[in-house]
Amino acid sequence: MPRAKDNRKAVGTEHCGECGTLARFYQVQKGNRTGYLYRRCECGADQRTGAAVQVKWLETMQRTGETMIPHPLEGSREPAPEPAKPAPEEPENTPEPRAKSEGNPKTENKRAGLIGLAAMAGAVAVALFT
Ligand SMILES: [Zn+2]
């Protein structure tokens, strides 16, 4: 059986709860309603063109991956499709040493790190015991 080369590629499918078969969605290939979906299953063809049903189909059908004609109604309801990407976080600064010892904070800051922190703790201990 020869395959018509235009509008026979299903762009989406869904399980039809009424006839129990796989309903397929196709797109109108030309004319005023280019891009509109229509649905076929054992129940017959559903060619409703109301915005409500068209948008519902767009949202609920399982897309087959076939290239779709941009649907005239798609985007009118969809919110921004791209989720905002989290901005890359700035690397955190070296945590400020909370001990205010008699030392020189600037140099201590520059030497921050485990050794610095340990030294700082030592300095605090010394400060506490004197
Ligand atoms: Zn059906």
Domain locations in the chain as residue ranges: 12-63, 94-130
- Ligand 1 center from residue 26 Cα (angstroms): 15
- Ligand 1 center from residue 108 Cα (angstroms): 75
Residue 112 — very low, low, confident or very high, per pLDDT cuts 50/70/90? Answer: low
pLDDT tens digits, residue range 8-23?
799 999 999 999 999 9
Return residues with CB closer than 5 A to ligand 1 (ion): 16, 18-19, 41-43
pLDDT tens digits, residue range 33-77?
999 999 999 999 999 999 999 999 999 999 999 999 999 998 755
State how far the Cα of 42 lies from the Cα of 92, in Å rounded to an integer: 61
Read off the tokens for 106: 């600037």
Q: pLDDT at residue 108 above 60? A: no
What residue ranges in 1-130 does DSSP mark as E strands? 12-15, 22-27, 37-41, 44-46, 62-63
Q: How far is residue 15 CA from its own chain's centroid?
A: 25
